[in-house]
Amino acid sequence: MCLSIPSQITRIDRSRNLATVETMGVAREASLDLIDRPVDVGDYVLIHIGFAMNKIDEADALQSLESYKEIIAAMEAEEQEQFITQSDHSTHRGEDE
């Protein structure tokens, strides 16, 4: 499965047809060769294997980013709980031996 997180264009190099995009705090370059409409700095795009594929509405992009942040926060909390549970279990096992 492939998830495409909305990325905001922060710079465009028209001579190379490349955009610098920011995805949840991470900057990278993406080719504009496959995008089907004009884009500008500030626009949101979906990236797949290094290519901007679709331009998306800002409101939709921000809503998606908020959902991703909630998922990440939930995953982190679950991983923390698993770590605590596993650590607690191994401590008790060590005491029993």
Q: Look up tokens 């995953």; give the residue.
A: 75
Residue type, 67: S
Q: Among 3.40.50.970, 3.20.20.80, 2.30.30.140, 1.10.10.10, name the CATH number for the domain at 7-96.
A: 2.30.30.140
Per-residue pLDDT tens digits for 35-48: 989 999 999 999 98
Tokens of 88: 């607690």
Q: How far apart, in whole angstroms, are the C-alpha atoms of residue 51 and residue 10?
A: 15
Predicted confidence (pLDDT) per residue in 49-77, tens digit: 999 999 999 999 999 999 988 888 887 77
Nearest to 27 by CA among 7, 47, 44, 48: 7
Q: How many other C-beta atoms can be found within 10 angstroms of the C-beta atom of residue 4?
A: 14
